[in-house]
Amino acid sequence: MTLLVVQILSLNSQVHSDYMKIPLLLLTILVALPSLGQISLTLNPHCGDFEPVFTDVEVLDLREGQKLVGFIHKGITNKPEQIVFTGNMADSLVPFFKAPNGDLKTPKKLVFILNELFMNENTKSVPKTGKLKLSTRLFIKNDLETYSEILTTDSIFTVKGFDVTKKLFRLVSDELCNLSKTAAKTENNRERPVLTRSELEHFDSLEISKLPIFSNQKPTSGIFKDYSHFKENKPDIEAEILVEKSKKGKFTAYRIFGSRRKKVQLETSGFYAISDGIKLFKATSEGLFEIKKIDHKLFYDRAGSFTDPGNAGIYFGMAGAMIAFSLSPHKINLFRFKINHRRGNSIPMGIVE
């Protein structure tokens, strides 16, 4: 895996000045990954006695990496292997939702958007645990050429036991069956916003454009206790905030009180973010990290390693898992995270240095 480390560091030196081009970084990682072993994900669209009800199904696979779907560990040495899907994911998901008999009395068209499907294992836990991250959105066609959202999933599912790989594979099909069953009995809410077919292709961008904190709006100075207030740029506590940066790059925040401008240092745990009215900072138990905006998306960098099994939740995701297997587990690296505009959770995107 030396090749991967060299490529990443070389890439970082070339693009660090413009805050790194993430898609190129992910491509570099993907190019190096074939040196690992591979195991293919298999899907089973037969959902017991249940039969899907949609006569027309279209799947939009919007994942950033469409072939790689996870990592497992095999053998006594816990050798990492890639989980890949060798077929066309979009075509393979259609049978989970499409009625086997296409001449139903009431035609129903479904558009299924797949944003994320990724698996990972934590071999340091006893028993072993496996996680599946699944993010989907389901839209049904209205009488006119418009679509309404009927179901959204953005969840992490956990399995435990000795044969975690088989359980994870089965879990993928089981959850897709559950989505199909739920969608089949979900009524179309006519009061929900409607979208055109072309808007579905860029639905995330449309949502982001409506969130004040992701726009070019100046951040309001204060303390954001949760993501719901953060995305609206409405601090739970509006206050004058002073942020100082040490020579080592560590940020310390103070709240300013009264005419004498008394400085009171803020703890970094217990709230989501802060702003001094100019910049935004992500608050974590490990300190503050400056949030940068790129193409109306929010990112921040933080240091970490994979030695601690507790980091599995932090780094769970496509790029996080790839980096976990490509770098020394004891080395402290600087990772880049994207803030999920729907839930506010942090998604690992790549390595900075």
Contact yes or no for 72/80 (Cβ under 8 A)? yes
Contact yes or no for 239/221 (Cβ under 8 A)? yes
pLDDT beyond 90 at 22: no
Closest CA to 8 of 36, 34, 32: 32
**Judging by beta carbons within 10 Å of its beta carbon (0-12, 13-18, 19+), is residue 329 exposed, middle or buried?**
exposed
pLDDT of res. 261: 92
pLDDT of res. 204: 85
Mean pLDDT of the 341-352 span? 77
Enclosing domain of residue 286: 211-351
* Strand partners of residue 26: none
Q: Which residues contact 292 (CB under 8 A, 6 or more apart)?
A: 19, 298, 299, 300
- Structural domain ending residue among the three candidates 141, 175, 201: 201
% of the chain with per-residue pLDDT over 70: 74
Tell me, yes or no, whether 2 lies in a domain: no
Give yes or no: residues 49 and 184 share one domain: yes
% of the chain with per-residue pLDDT over 90: 45
Give yes or no: residues 261 and 326 share one domain: yes
Give yes or no: residues 194 and 322 share one domain: no
pLDDT beyond 70 at 263: yes
CATH code of 144's domain: 3.30.160
Mean pLDDT of the 216-227 span? 94
317: left (phi over 0), alpha (psi -120 to 50) or beta: left
Tell me which amino acid residue 285 is: S
Tell me, yes or no, whether 23 lies in a domain: no
Q: Which residues contact 295 (CB under 8 A, 6 or more apart)?
A: none
pLDDT beyond 50 at 155: yes
Contact yes or no for 235/276 (Cβ under 8 A)? no
Give yes or no: residues 179 and 264 share one domain: no
Give yes or no: residues 231 and 162 share one domain: no
pLDDT of res. 21: 44
pLDDT beyond 80 at 47: yes
Phi/psi of residue 128, each to 5°?
Answer: -60, 150
Band (pLDDT 50/70/90 cuts) for residue 279 is very high
Lowest mean pLDDT among 200-209, 228-237, 255-264, 282-291: 200-209
Give yes or no: residues 158 and 218 share one domain: no
Tell me, yes or no, whether 3 lies in a domain: no
Tell me, yes or no, whether 13 lies in a domain: no
Distance CA 237, CA 52 (A): 49
- Structural domain ending residue among the three candidates 201, 226, 242: 201
Tell me, yes or no, whether 163 lies in a domain: yes
Lowest mean pLDDT among 1-15, 77-91, 246-260, 294-308: 1-15
DSSP string, 45-98: ---TT----BSEEEEEE--SSSSEEEEEEETTTTEEEEEE--S-HHHHHHHHHB
pLDDT of res. 76: 63
Lowest mean pLDDT among 32-41, 148-157, 243-252: 32-41
Give yes or no: residues 174 and 242 share one domain: no
Local structure of residue 330 (DSSP, 8 states) = T
pLDDT of res. 3: 33
Q: How many residues does the chain have?
A: 353
pLDDT in tens, 99-129: 987 666 567 899 999 988 988 877 666 678 8
If one counts every other C-beta atom within 10 angstroms of the C-beta of residue 293, the result is 15
Q: Give 17's Cβ-side CA count (13 Å radius).
A: 2
Q: Give 247's Cβ-side CA count (13 Å radius).
A: 0
If one counts every other C-beta atom within 10 angstroms of the C-beta of residue 62, the result is 18
DSSP string, 128-170: -EEEEEEEEEEEEE-SSS-EEEEEEEEEEEEEESS-HHHHHHH
Which uninterrupted H or E stretch holds 7? helix 2-15
Distance CA 24, CA 139 (A): 31
pLDDT of res. 210: 92
Give yes or no: residues 197 and 217 share one domain: no
Give yes or no: residues 264 and 311 share one domain: yes
Distance CA 8, CA 25 (A): 7
- Structural domain ending residue among the three candidates 201, 227, 248: 201
Tell me, yes or no, whether 9 lies in a domain: no
pLDDT in tens, 182-191: 999 998 877 7
Contact yes or no for 84/92 (Cβ under 8 A)? no
Give yes or no: residues 225 and 255 share one domain: yes
Number of domains the chain is built from: 2
Whole-model pTM above 0.75? no
Q: Which residues contact 8 (CB under 8 A, 6 or more apart)?
A: 25, 28, 29, 351
Band (pLDDT 50/70/90 cuts) for residue 54 is very high
Closest CA to 350 of 307, 309, 302: 302
Give yes or no: residues 227 and 346 share one domain: yes
Lowest mean pLDDT among 272-276, 339-343, 345-349: 345-349
* Strand partners of residue 56: 109
pLDDT beyond 50 at 327: no
pLDDT beyond 50 at 324: no
Tell me, yes or no, whether 332 lies in a domain: yes
Give yes or no: residues 79 and 99 share one domain: yes
Mean pLDDT of the 48-62 span? 93
* Strand partners of residue 178: none
Is residue 244 helix, strand or coil? strand
